Amino acid sequence: MLNRKVISVVTLLAGVLLGVGFSAVASEKVFPKRGSVQFGAKERPQVNVSPEFAAFSTVFADIAESVIPTVVSITSTHIDTVLVRQNPFDFFGFPFFGGDPRQQQQQPQARERRQSGAGSGVIVSSNGYILTNSHVVHGASEIKITLYDEREFDAEIVGVDTLADVAVIRITSEVSNLPVAYLGDSDKLRPGDWVMAVGNPFGLSSTVTAGIVSALGRYTRSDQFQNFIQIDAAINPGNSGGALVNIRGELVGINTMILTRSGGYMGIGFAIPILQAQNIMEQLIYTGEVRRGWLGVSIAAMDQTMLDALGLRERGVLINEVFENEPAYRSGVRAGDVVMSLAGRRTTGPNDLRNVAALLVAGENYPIEIIRDGRRQTLNITPTVRGESPQAAAPNQRQRRTPAEPQSVDFMGMTLREADGGGITVSAIYPNSASARANVRVGDNLLAIKTAPDRAFVQLKTLDELNKEIGRVGAHPIVLQFGRGGQRFFVSLRAER
């Protein structure tokens, strides 16, 4: 009571000092009458919106409405068995605080350890087949999927392909009439096309983001089958396995990974083209395994010096080596050829050729366009099935000796000698020379030389043969074929003047 009286007196004095009547200070706050205040402008802004843009303004909402029901949330659980001891001092083999050793020493107990991860998937059949990434479900002991309407189902793995990061799972319950994505044509995508990503980033279900195709044909590892679509639509952890659709709502890719330094979205995402994913999906469903085409060649990229040496203006895939009695060998492809297309699809680099060949059906004939000695020609090739690690017969390993006064030739920044038993070997490399920059090493065997784009490769066994060809070298870059550790490769060198 005393505090309230003190406050009232202080308030009264403050009112008197400030020239405000006590009644005004103590009165309740007066609110305006409802409806007496006009909120917002009376007229809509006069913005000139073209009819085309007005029609476009609802496109993404229409796409989302159509695609969201076909994308599911995937929770995969890995179950491990671990051994647990109740008394940590049992490890030392003596009782703790003088207890009975027979009571203290206990057998380890087996317990389950559960680790769960989240991802996305796309329904591709009305009876429960779902397309996703291998890394989302591979090795999972339990898989649960949640539909857009929050219905939950158990699922099982149909098959996985770790080399392309594709997996197929299936709902174990009897289901029908599920919403299904329409499979589009990823080959028709162009950089700059609008796309939308749909998935469940960080567990936020049915999230949609929009962007454009940034680039095509991306890859991060040369030992895997990658042909990524690069996009700038935001994707994050949990988006993996989700849908990438075009402006017509057609599924054109499966979102897979991001390039990041922070762990989150930084503007670069990757998706597997649907044509590649569909081919793998169908093989996993119908056969349980993925069988890729095999040509039997070793391939390499081409730099500008190699292009100049071969007289080419457009890039292709250089054939380093053709394995004997394999499909390419039987078709007439030879080392030094440049593959410009396979099965009608342009191949500008090793990754292109690798991915096109992987999609070919074993036993069928396909055209392969090559350039040899400056002339373009088309051959027919019949691929076989790629094995786990196909090996070509390695050439005979030659033992080298060092004679007291060996014959040698200095050429393009390296010293070449005749090896014991025949052939030419590199015995020295000069620092900062063209050969050193081309990664030629001591011990490599020089096998062949091409001195002009319109000349064929000349096989070399002696230094006399090499000297003869050196006399034909001009200002134009040359191509040399080497052998190293049972493998063959080409380098292009330009004479330094």
Give me the phi and psi of 50, to 5 degrees please.
-70, 150
| Interstrand relation of 142-146 and 194-199 (parallel, antiparallel or unpaired) | unpaired
- Active-site residue, selected from the candidate residues 76, 120, 135, 186: 135
Beta strands 293-294 and 487-493: pairing type? unpaired
Long-range contacts of 428-437 (CB under 8 A, 24+ apart): 433/496, 434/493, 434/494, 434/495, 434/496, 435/491, 435/493
* Token pair belonging to 339: 């593959």
Considering only CA atoms, which of 273, 275, 245 is closest in space to residue 67? Answer: 245
CA distances from 70 to 128, 187, 282, 443 (A): 11, 22, 19, 58
User: What three-state secondary structure class fits 319?
Assistant: strand
Is 223 an annotated catalytic residue? Answer: no
Q: Give me the DSSP letters along 91-102.
A: GGTS-STT--HH
DSSP code at position 183: B
Q: 337 catalytic, yes or no? A: no
Torsion of CA 201, 205, 211, 212, to 10 degrees: 80
Contact 412, 305 (CB under 8 A): no
Residue 132 to residue 183: CA distance in whole angstroms: 14
Render 213-235 in DSSP notation, one character per residue. Answer: EEEEEE-S-TTS---EEEE-S--
Q: Is 32 exposed, middle or buried (0-12, 13-18, 19+ CB in 10 A)?
A: exposed
Give residue 193's Cα distance to chain centre.
20
> What are phi and psi for residue 26, nearest 5 degrees?
-85, -15
| List 165, 232, 337, 444, catalytic entry | 165
Q: Give CA–CA dist 128/151, Å, rounded.
A: 13
> Which residue in the block uniquely carries the two structure tokens 């190293």?
484
Find out whether 75 and 118 touch, Cβ atoms under 8 Å: yes
Residue type present at position 197: A
Query: Do residues 196 and 255 touch, judged by C-beta distance below 8 A?
Result: no
CA dist 168 and 279 (Å) reads: 12
Q: How far apart are CA 352 and CA 335, in angstroms?
A: 18
Q: Which of 205, 214, 240, 341 is catalytic?
A: 240
Active site residue 240: yes
Active site residues: 135, 165, 240
